Structure 1
Amino acid sequence: MAEEGKKSGAIWETVKTVFWALLIAGIFRTLFFQPFWIPSGSMKDTLLIGDFLFVNKMAYGYSYASCPTIRIASLGVDIDAQKLCGFLDGDNTRLLGSEPERGDIIVFRHPVHGTDFIKRLIGLPGDRIQMRDGVLHINDEPVQLQPDGNFSEVKERQGPLQSTPRCENDPVGLGGECLKSRQIETLPGGRAHGILNITRQSTDNTGVYTVPEGHYFFMGDNRDNSTDSRVPLAAGGVGFVPYENLIGRANRVIFSSAGRSMLFFWTWRGDRFFERLE
């Protein structure tokens, strides 16, 4: 009996340890930092497929979107932040809130289906945003652009999703050099970052988007390969993003792997470890 009591006590101690560990991890993820893997190429070459970073959730305060979404397909677990903290939703406000700055790289919840997106903040409330011949205009003024050569990568299947990059110099076979012309874009206020071009397409010429109060306009740095605010919600895009949907700011890449799994150490990009994001 004593032996059974010891085993029962050991099991109970393990359960308590796991419970407290999960609770602490949940609080940490809710209040401070959220891990995020880059699944697509929409932010190249600022962010590459397979980059891993922590999103600073303290940057803009807290809303329902600050609660974690827990999805474990293999276990049938699908707990959305809306289910956990939906009672905080609806008024487009934040606790301890602060305003984001133009040029910030931000993770946010899609306004309709709640998927986490990461894009660059381009338009603030009240701004007029338009693309003309591939040039971003903010409040009727074109941003400064400076040619910066080409971004080169191997045309191959990338990341867990095994997506193949689009190339400005297509047709390019698998294993060939995939090129995109690169420019340095300087936003009002002086924030500068690289953008890529692949081809001429509909999102290079748009109407004028007037950003509503309490909302923001986002774009990917890989301009021709990004589903963002240039495409309205009704057409399957992102549209204007409410203030309460912001999750946090990305400041630095912590780890990076070019392979299908982070365990493939031979695909690690050591030169990107702890790289600061601009």
Structure 2
Amino acid sequence: MGFDFELILAIAFLVTGVFWVYDRIVYFPKRKAVLANMAPETRSAINKDAQQRLAETPKFVVEVKSYFIIIAVIFGLRSFVVEPFQIPSGSMLPTLKIGDFILVNKFDYGLRLPVLNTTIIPTTVPERGDVVVFKYPRDPSLNYIKRLVGLPGDKVSYHDKILTVNGQKISKEFLAKLPVSLNPDQEPVELFKENLSGVQHNIYNSFRFTPHEGDWVVPEGHYFVMGDNRDNSADSRFWGFVPDENMKGRAFYVWLHWDDFFSIPSIKNNGLIE
């Protein structure tokens, strides 16, 4: 099982919220009454900590409820506006590198309930070519990132490193052959610029056998995704389709790159994700 930070944050929001409401109902009126009986000059000189003691508010209530506002702000932003992620693997090379920190638009695919991910306010729908973050269908506690290739009803084929969608071969332009020294996967690859329904982006193809070729028809309510590092990506070719309810948002910006703890963070590659 992965570390489900979204679920942990939701639990923290609920727990601190309960304590905040409990304090407002039980102890806030007591503090208000104590202050009302004081002279104005005395009241103005008493700080919040002293007010808590005057109303005999339990220390653990004070401590827990004090985190509610900041957790509520973080929870709201991550759930409905934008969420940060770090790229853990090379499956999206050369578009995204291991150690890239990205931002994901949570509102693009509809306003969704946290944890449950159920759409409550529809906005737009995922489009072919989007770089999407989603809950891994086989373990929803894990977040995956891939490029959306097939929409509901699409016929997707991948043979001999050629991608075909609905009978149309997706064009790709050869750019360069990269030697091992320049390739983080430690194998020579060819760099191409692919045009996926008007979305132009770079991809890698290796020289070895194409893994898991096949033909697929995308079911309604599902999507077919692939990594830009086409021969080094565990994606829909291996484990199937992504249900719409697993979609979390569209990745749109790289804001930091940090290889490891002992390296120096870099912002030289910051920019919009193609």
Specify the TM-score bucket, using the shorter chain as the normaliser: 0.7 to 0.9
1:270 and 2:234 equivalent?
Answer: no
Verify the 8 A CA contact 2:180 2:186 in the aligned structure 1.
no
Larger radius of gyration: 2
Seq. identity, %: 38
Q: Is 1:144 matched with 2:171?
A: yes
* Alignment of structure 1 residues 20-99 onto 2, 5 Å: 20-64=69-113, 67=114, 81=115, 85=116, 88=118, 95-99=121-125
What is the CA distance between 1:132 and its match in structure 2? 1.7
- Distance in 1 (CA, whole Å) between partners of 2:165 and 2:51 is 73
1:120 counterpart residue number = 147
Structure 1, unaligned runs of 5 or more: 68-80, 157-164, 170-179, 232-236
2:157 equivalent among 127, 130, 150: 130
CA distance in 1, matches of 2:52, 2:110: 49
Partner of 2:252: 251
Secondary structure of the equivalent of 2:65? Answer: helix
Q: Which has the higher helix share?
A: 2
TM-score when scaled to structure 1? 0.72
Distance in 2, matches of 1:4 and 1:246, equals: 44
User: Pick from 193, 201, 217: which aligns with 1:210?
Assistant: 217
Quote the residue 1:159 is aligned against. Answer: none
What amino acid is the match of 2:272? R
Alpha-carbon shift at residue 154 of structure 1 (Å): 5.1
Matched-pair contact (CA < 8 Å) for 2:193–2:200: yes
With the length of structure 2 as denominator, give the TM-score of the two structures. 0.73
Q: How does 1:146-185 map to 2 (within 5 A)?
A: 146-151=173-178, 165-169=184-188, 180-185=189-194
* 122-131 vs 55-64, which moves further: 55-64
Change (3 A) 1:212 1:5: same
Deviation at 1:131, TM superposition (A): 1.0
Larger relative contact order (Cα-Cα within 8 Å, sequence gap ≥ 6): 1
- Note the alpha carbon deviations across 1:2-21, whole angstroms, 9 max, x for none: 89938x87956554331221
Q: Corresponding residue for 1:224?
A: 231
CA distance in 2, matches of 1:168, 1:3: 66
SS for the counterpart of 1:166 is coil
Aligned to 2:129: 103
User: After TM superposition, which residue ranges in structure 1, 4 or more long, deviate above 4 angstroms?
Assistant: 8-14, 151-156
Whether contact under 8 Å (2:155, 2:215) holds in the other structure is yes
Using the TM superposition, give the Cα deviation of residue 195 of structure 1 relative to its aligned residue in structure 2, in angstroms. 0.4
Distance verdict in 2 for CA 1:210–1:242, change over 3 Å: same
Structure 1 residue 136: Cα displacement:
0.6
Paired residues of 1:63 and 1:245 also in contact (CA < 8 A): no
> How far apart, CA to CA, are the structure 2 residues paired with 1:149 and 1:219?
21
Q: For 1:39, what is the secondary structure of its paired residue?
A: coil
Deviation at 1:111, TM superposition (A): 1.5
Tell me the residue number matched to 2:41.
none
Separation in 2 of the partners of 1:198 and 1:126?
Answer: 29
